[in-house]
């Protein structure tokens, strides 16, 4: 009998599994770090919460962190967003949609709310952005 | 070496089936409903087996539901179909059906449902005039008609019965336990809505069978709990048996023609020998029959006595269906076909398999000839 | 800046199996006992014959079935004639509950009937009860206390003059709580009410002696005690006789109570598994309880916010169920790919729904979902327990650290 691949026994889509297991950029910036804008979103249905922190330098994201409480997909969404955001300017950040997140992470229909959670967290960052985010 | 001429009762496990089963009997396997990796590997193996069983009978994998065996499949089909129909809708079933159909029909009758036997002729074939009349006398939920009889091997015209049933809005359930692996069985061509299969009649393990069900057919489950098999058949899946069933089904499909041709040749040899002995009645011989089955009576011998005499000579045959053996009752199949009780009491069944040999046939005929002489002397 | 460093993810091929309450591997002795009935014996090549056949090979297969029946009976202090073989515990439970109610005329509306069970029974018991409700049977589902216990008095108070049957499990499959079946059985016998016990998780873990405990019907499963899947048994008491309407009709096998060709190898496997369980009962129970306590001590001393589900004073030796505050259940399970375990009973773990058993104990959905059921078996070692504890501690700490709740940055 064939054994299921050892490292992903629950058969999550590969991008989700990889990000969930490695969770790059997990954590947060020390309070008061210059240029940091924090956005948070939650999905009441799934009782998940995502906090995204982007540190801006000269109008672009220089570094990013995330924290998440929720299923592996919502954690992977946070990790992907934090990695993707680095180097982007505000206009590029504003262009991200939940659909793109779903495509990048191969998020299945029943987890679509996790992609919305990611989009909401990014929107929350953009909403709190000062006119000139550069320090 | 003992001679085993009772392949319609059960068959030996094919060594290739055992090999496949042993891989999951001994290996790290799980409850297929568990989510961890063992559970997933088990689930994959079950789905592979489902496809193999479906392929044997020309069905879609999603139409195949695993059960603990054909008795359960027949119970599920009959009880399940009647439970989802109005109380007035009847059950019709052939007079020579397997006890698991007859007894389920009796239980339904006891529970207040209308059930009716459809007569068969002396050749074992359905009485079409009676059948059509019964169909026309009010609503029928289900017609249960076996493809091939376990005792006589007589093959019913199931497609015709299905067409007539469908024209009256009835469903057709086909017990294909004896037909599968011996003659081609095609779920669609039979026109069946429900069909029972058993693994241990096709060189697979005991304790597993299947009910094939068209998606549109609504059945109430027989067992409640757990949700396995889409809620139609809950309970932890019997993984090694299901895997074994799958392999047995694949082998049956691959080797069907060879097995059938081999059995047919030996059976012709056997029947020619029986006719030479004289004073032998072969039941259902004017009807189409399975290539491996002969049911006959030897004048002067009771079936049970003949069976025991043969057993002492190391030859295993049956006096009818295995379930009713030893009950001292004549075969309901032969009585249903209108044979007199004395003759029905005399019946024994020889059922051959791919491992049967010409030598075995010759030895069997020789022993029978001796016994006939004894019987005549007595 | 506070960065969270994920614990190194081990890619070692090693997987720790901690789901023995879902299923157990076949014991080598059991497989050995089964093989002659699959492939034929060395001196008796036709042992695979149909045990209902009236020839020599059939009689010898039948003899093996009867030996197995005696082995099953011996494990629970029954007589061999009181054992009916089935396709497994789901069928045994269905046959006991629906068969008893049907026999007592409950299904044709000819008699008002009442059934008592509990909210924390196995799904197949609950589903059988719900089916009976659709047929007009009134069912009382007893509510356990916060530790999962049901007091015998609670059972007796639920009885009405119409009560036909009480169905309760001996050991709960999710939380391991042990009901006081002897006291309940004696009380029900005094009151003349039929008693069915699902003993699937109790067999081989606790001593069962039905000569002392007046249970009328009792379900067993082979694959939970190192026997094969696809076979179980129902004990049906002879004196006084428990009566059932059969649910599967046919050739009249098993005293007419369960028709269908007997799967000799499976039944022989169940018998061998029962014989082995009887032989190892004391030894297994002591060792498994030690493993359970070791795991609990390790987890509880390292992690705050844990809840041990069930009653530590009355729990089966092979089960530990823990709820973890501050972590999400699916992430918790997914973070432990090297542990094969379940969040509840196998039947419900594929769905993300929180366990109804834990909810019946009063856990909220979130905490019920963030629960792990560890179950141990003969092959579980101290090293495996240590490894599992270490992984769980690391991952719970990590998921809590990752969570935005209660953190500024």
Residues 23-52 of B with CB under 8 A from A: 23-24, 27-29, 35-37, 40-42, 44-45
Q: Does the beta carbon of B206 lie under 8 angstroms from any beta carbon of chain C? A: yes
Closest Cα in chain B, distance from residue A12 (Å):
12
Contact (CB<8Å) B34/C89: no
In a domain, C8, yes or no: no
Q: Is the pLDDT of residue C12 over 50?
A: no
Taking any CB pair shorter than 8 Å as contact, residues of chain A touching chain C are 6-10, 12, 20-23, 26-31, 33, 40, 47-51, 53, 65, 67-72, 75
Mean pLDDT for B240-267 is 97
Q: Does the beta carbon of B241 lie under 8 angstroms from any beta carbon of chain A? A: no
Residues 53-82 of C with CB under 8 A from B: 53-58
Domain end, chosen from C240, C258, C277, is at C277
Both tokens assigned to B274: 């029986």
CATH 1.20.120.340 fits B3-10+256-377, yes or no: no
User: Strand runs (DSSP E) across B126-251, as ranges?
Assistant: 140-144, 171-175, 194-198, 209-213
C285 and C270 assigned to the same domain:
no
Contact (CB<8Å) A72/C331: yes
- Which of B98, B336, B354, B220 has the alpha carbon at shortest distance from C261? B98
Contact (CB<8Å) A1/B37: no
Mean pLDDT for C396-401 is 97
**From CA B10, how far away is CA C33, in angstroms rounded?**
20
Q: Is the pLDDT of residue B376 over 60?
A: no
The secondary element (H helix, E strand) that includes residue B90 is strand B90-94
C107 and C249 assigned to the same domain:
yes
Mean pLDDT for B209-238 is 91
Per-residue model confidence (pLDDT) at position B320:
63
Contacts of C9 in chain A (CB under 8 A): 7, 21-22
C270 and C287 assigned to the same domain:
no
Contacts of B107 in chain C (CB under 8 A): 246, 249
Contact (CB<8Å) A29/C1: yes
Which residue in C3, C11, C12, C328 has the most chain A C-beta atoms within 10 A of its own C-beta, making it the best mutation to test that interface?
C328
Domain end, chosen from C277, C307, C329, is at C277
Mean pLDDT for B10-39 is 79
Q: Is the pLDDT of residue B319 over 90?
A: no
Contact (CB<8Å) A7/C337: yes
Both tokens assigned to C126: 């609950």
ipTM: 0.93
Mean pLDDT for chain B overall: 93
Mean pLDDT for B129-134 is 98
Name the band, by pLDDT with cuts 50, 70 and 90, for residue A10.
confident
Mean pLDDT for B62-68 is 97
User: Strand runs (DSSP E) across C147-266, as ranges?
Assistant: 163-169, 194-198, 217-221, 232-236
C271 and C123 assigned to the same domain:
yes
Mean pLDDT for B17-39 is 74
Backbone conformation region of residue A6, classed left if phi is above 0, alpha if psi is from -120 to 50, else beta: alpha
Q: Does the beta carbon of B41 lie under 8 angstroms from any beta carbon of chain C? A: no
Domain end, chosen from C277, C303, C335, is at C277
Contact (CB<8Å) C228/B205: no
Contacts of A50 in chain C (CB under 8 A): 404
C193 and C322 assigned to the same domain:
no
Contacts of C13 in chain A (CB under 8 A): 6
C124 and C46 assigned to the same domain:
yes
Per-residue model confidence (pLDDT) at position B47:
96
DSSP conformational letter for C341: -
Which of the residues of B are catalytic? 323
Per-residue model confidence (pLDDT) at position B42:
83
**From CA B323, how far away is CA C107, in angstroms rounded?**
29
Q: How many domains does chain C have?
A: 2
Cα Rg, chain A, nearest whole Å:
15
Name the band, by pLDDT with cuts 50, 70 and 90, for residue B303.
confident
Closest Cα in chain B, distance from residue A21 (Å):
16
Mean pLDDT for chain A overall: 90
Percent of chain B at pLDDT > 70 equals: 93
**From CA C189, how far away is CA C46, in angstroms rounded?**
46
Provide the domain limits for residue C153: 28-277
A14 CB contacts (<8 Å, ≥6 apart)? A8, A106
Q: Is the pLDDT of residue C377 over 60?
A: yes
Q: How far is CA C351 from the centre of its chain?
A: 19
Both tokens assigned to C366: 């979130």
**CA B291, B292, B293, B299: dihedral to nearest 10 degrees?**
100
> In terms of C-beta distances under 8 Å and separation of at least 24 residues, what long-range contacts does C241-244 make, across chains too?
C242/C100, C242/C194, C242/C216, C242/C217, C243/C100, C243/C103, C244/C95, C244/C96, C244/C99, C244/C100, C244/C102, C244/C103, C244/C217
In a domain, C4, yes or no: no
Which of the residues of C are catalytic? 347
Q: Give residue-wise pLDDT tens across range B157-174.
A: 999 999 999 999 999 999
**CA C209, C210, C211, C215: dihedral to nearest 10 degrees?**
150
Closest Cα in chain B to A3:
B41
Find the CATH number of the domain harbouring C153: 3.40.640.10
- Which of B242, B248, B199, B249 has the alpha carbon at shortest distance from B32? B242
Q: Is C220 helix (H, G, I), strand (E, B) or coil?
A: strand
Looking at domain B15-251, its CATH class is alpha beta
Contact (CB<8Å) C260/B69: yes
C228 and C293 assigned to the same domain:
no
Extents of the domains making up chain B: 3-10+256-377, 15-251
Query: C209: buried, middle or exposed (CB in 10 Å: 19+, 13-18, 0-12)?
Result: exposed
Per-residue model confidence (pLDDT) at position C347:
43
Contact (CB<8Å) C250/B236: no
Establish, for the pair of chains A and C, how many residue pairs have beta carbons separated by less than 8 Å: 84
Find where tokens 């909220």 sit.
C364
Among C11, C15, C409, select the one facing A31 at the smallest CB separation. Answer: C409
Question: Longest C-alpha distance within chain B, in Å?
Answer: 70
User: What are the backbone dihedrals phi and psi of residue C238, each rounded to the nearest 5 degrees, phi first?
Assistant: -90, -40
Closest Cα in chain A, distance from residue B175 (Å):
31
Per-residue model confidence (pLDDT) at position A2:
31
C37-41, C209-213, C278-282, C340-344: which range is least confident on average? C340-344
A42-51, A88-97, B329-338, C371-380: which range is least confident on average? A42-51
Q: Give residue-wise pLDDT tens across range B33-42.
A: 665 666 778 8
Contacts of A67 in chain C (CB under 8 A): 4, 402-404, 407
Among B28, B36, B42, select the one facing A9 at the smallest CB separation. Answer: B36
B211 CB contacts (<8 Å, ≥6 apart)? B64, B65, B67, B73, B76, B77, B194, B195, B196, B197, B232, B233
Mean pLDDT for B75-96 is 97
- Whether the CB-CB separation of C232 and B79 falls below 8 Å is answered with no
Contact (CB<8Å) A47/C405: no
B104-113, B246-255, C55-64, C108-117: which range is least confident on average? C108-117
Q: Is C186 helix (H, G, I), strand (E, B) or coil?
A: helix
Q: Chains near B, with 3+ CB pairs < 8 A?
A: A, C
Mean pLDDT for C118-130 is 96
Extents of the domains making up chain A: 14-25+35-127
**From CA B243, how far away is CA B53, in angstroms rounded?**
10
Contact (CB<8Å) A4/B24: no
C344 and C375 assigned to the same domain:
yes
Q: Give residue-wise pLDDT tens across range C137-154.
A: 999 999 999 999 999 999
Question: pLDDT: is A131 or A48 the higher one?
Answer: A48
C250 and C284 assigned to the same domain:
no
Mean pLDDT for C98-118 is 87
Name the band, by pLDDT with cuts 50, 70 and 90, for residue B261.
very high
Mean pLDDT for B125-140 is 98
B77 CB contacts (<8 Å, ≥6 apart)? B142, B144, B173, B194, B196, B211, B213, B219
Contact (CB<8Å) C334/A65: no
Mean pLDDT for chain C overall: 92
Contacts of B40 in chain A (CB under 8 A): 4, 9-11
Specify the CATH number for A14-25+35-127; select among 3.90.1010.10, 3.40.50.300, 3.40.50.10860, 3.40.30.120.
3.90.1010.10
Q: How far is CA C294 from the centre of its chain?
A: 23
Among B18, B226, B240, select the one facing C124 at the smallest CB separation. Answer: B226
Q: Does the beta carbon of B19 lie under 8 angstroms from any beta carbon of chain A? A: no
Backbone conformation region of residue B369, classed left if phi is above 0, alpha if psi is from -120 to 50, else beta: alpha
Closest Cα in chain B, distance from residue A8 (Å):
8
In a domain, C223, yes or no: yes
In a domain, C2, yes or no: no
Q: How far is CA B339 from the centre of its chain?
A: 22
Neighbours of C201 (CB within 10 A): 27
**From CA C368, how far away is CA B175, in angstroms rounded?**
46
Q: Which residues of B66-91 are buried (b: 16+ CB within 10 A; e: fewer)?
A: bbbbbbbbbbbbbbbbbbebeeebbb
């Amino acid at each position: 009998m064939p054994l299921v691949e050892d490292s992903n026994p629950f058969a999550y889509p590969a991008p989700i599994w990889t990000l969930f297991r490695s969770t790059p950029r997990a954590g947060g910036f020390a309070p008061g770090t210059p240029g940091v804008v924090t956005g948070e979103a939650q999905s009441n249905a799934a009782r998940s919460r995502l906090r995204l922190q982007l540190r801006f330098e000269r109008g672009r994201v220089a570094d990013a962190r995330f924290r998440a409480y929720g299923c592996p997909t919502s954690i992977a969404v946070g990790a992907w967003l934090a990695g993707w955001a680095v180097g982007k300017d505000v206009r590029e950040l504003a262009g991200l949609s939940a659909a793109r997140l779903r495509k990048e992470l191969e998020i299945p229909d029943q987890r679509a709310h996790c992609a919305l959670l990611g989009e909401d967290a990014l929107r929350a960052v953009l909403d709190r952005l000062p006119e000139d985010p550069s320090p | 070496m003992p001679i085993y001429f009772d392949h319609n009762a059960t068959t030996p496990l094919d060594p290739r089936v055992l090999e496949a089963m042993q891989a999951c009997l001994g290996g790290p396997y799980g409850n297929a409903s568990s989510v961890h990796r063992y559970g997933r590997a088990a689930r994959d193996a079950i789905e592979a087996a489902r496809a193999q069983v479906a392929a044997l009978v020309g069905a879609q994998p999603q139409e195949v539901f695993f059960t603990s065996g054909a008795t359960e499949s027949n119970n599920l089909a009959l009880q399940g179909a009647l439970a989802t129909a109005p109380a007035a809708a009847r059950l019709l079933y052939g007079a020579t059906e397997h006890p698991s159909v007859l007894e389920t029909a009796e239980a339904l009758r006891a529970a207040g449902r209308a059930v009716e036997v459809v007569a068969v002729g002396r050749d074992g074939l359905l009485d079409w005039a009676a059948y059509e009349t019964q169909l026309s006398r009010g609503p029928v939920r289900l017609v249960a008609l076996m493809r091939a009889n376990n005792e006589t091997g007589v093959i019913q015209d199931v497609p015709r019965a299905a067409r007539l049933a469908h024209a009256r809005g009835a469903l057709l359930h086909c017990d294909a336990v004896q037909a599968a692996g011996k003659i081609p069985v095609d779920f669609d061509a039979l026109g069946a809505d429900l069909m029972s299969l058993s693994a241990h009649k096709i060189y697979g393990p005991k304790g597993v069978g299947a009910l094939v069900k068209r998606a549109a057919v609504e059945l109430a489950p027989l067992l409640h709990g757990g949700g396995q098999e889409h809620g139609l058949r809950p309970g932890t899946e019997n993984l090694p048996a299901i895997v074994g069933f799958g392999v047995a089904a694949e082998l049956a499909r691959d080797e069907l023609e060879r097995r059938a041709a081999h059995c047919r040749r030996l059976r012709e040899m056997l029947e020619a020998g029986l006719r030479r002995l004289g004073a032998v009645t072969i039941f259902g011989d004017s009807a189409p029959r399975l290539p491996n089955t002969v049911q006959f009576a030897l004048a002067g011998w009771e079936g049970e006595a003949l069976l025991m005499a043969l057993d002492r000579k190391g030859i295993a045959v049956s006096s009818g269906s295995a379930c009713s053996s030893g009950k001292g009752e004549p075969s309901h199949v032969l009585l249903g076909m209108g044979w007199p009780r004395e003759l029905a009491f005399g019946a024994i069944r020889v059922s051959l398999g791919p491992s049967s040999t010409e030598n075995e046939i010759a030895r069997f005929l020789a022993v029978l000839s001796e016994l006939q002489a004894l019987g005549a002397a007595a | 800046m506070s960065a969270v460093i994920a614990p190194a993810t081990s890619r070692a091929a090693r997987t720790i199996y901690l789901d023995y309450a879902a299923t157990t591997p076949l014991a080598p002795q059991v497989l050995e006992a089964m093989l002659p009935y699959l492939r034929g014996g060395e001196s008796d090549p036709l042992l695979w014959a149909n045990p209902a056949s009236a020839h020599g090979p059939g009689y010898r297969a039948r003899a093996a079935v009867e030996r197995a029946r005696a082995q099953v009976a011996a494990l629970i202090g029954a007589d061999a004639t009181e054992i009916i073989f089935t396709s497994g515990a789901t069928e045994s439970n269905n046959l006991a509950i629906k068969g008893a109610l049907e026999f007592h005329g409950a299904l044709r509306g000819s008699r008002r009937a009442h059934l008592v069970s509990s909210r924390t029974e196995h799904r197949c018991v609950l589903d059988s009860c719900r089916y009976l409700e659709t047929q007009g049977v009134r069912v009382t589902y007893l509510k356990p206390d916060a530790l999962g216990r049901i007091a015998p008095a609670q059972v007796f108070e639920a009885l009405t003059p119409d009560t036909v049957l009480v169905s309760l499990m001996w050991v709960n499959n999710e939380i391991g709580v042990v009901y006081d079946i002897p006291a309940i059985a004696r009380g029900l016998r005094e009151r003349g009410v039929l008693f069915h016990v699902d003993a699937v998780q109790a067999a081989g873990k606790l001593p069962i002696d039905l000569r002392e405990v007046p249970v009328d019907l009792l379900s067993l499963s082979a694959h939970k005690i190192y026997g094969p899947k696809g076979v179980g048994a129902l004990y049906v008491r002879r004196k006084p006789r428990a009566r059932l309407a059969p649910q599967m009709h046919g050739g009249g096998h098993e005293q007419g109570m369960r028709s269908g060709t007997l799967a000799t190898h499976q039944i022989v496997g169940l018998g061998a598994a029962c014989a082995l369980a009887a032989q190892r009962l004391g030894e297994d129970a002591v060792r498994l309880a030690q493993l359970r306590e070791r795991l609990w001590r390790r987890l509880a001393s390292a992690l705050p916010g844990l809840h041990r589900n069930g009653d530590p004073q009355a729990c089966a030796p092979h089960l530990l169920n823990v709820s973890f505050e501050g972590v999400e259940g699916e992430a918790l399970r997914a973070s432990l790919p090297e542990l094969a375990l379940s969040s509840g009973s196998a039947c419900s773990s594929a769905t993300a729904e929180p366990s109804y058993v834990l909810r019946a104990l009063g856990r909220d959905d979130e905490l019920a979902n963030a629960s792990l059921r560890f179950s141990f078996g003969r092959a579980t070692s101290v090293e495996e327990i240590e490894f599992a504890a270490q992984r769980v501690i690391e991952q719970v700490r990590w998921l809590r650290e990752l969570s935005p709740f209660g953190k500024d940055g």
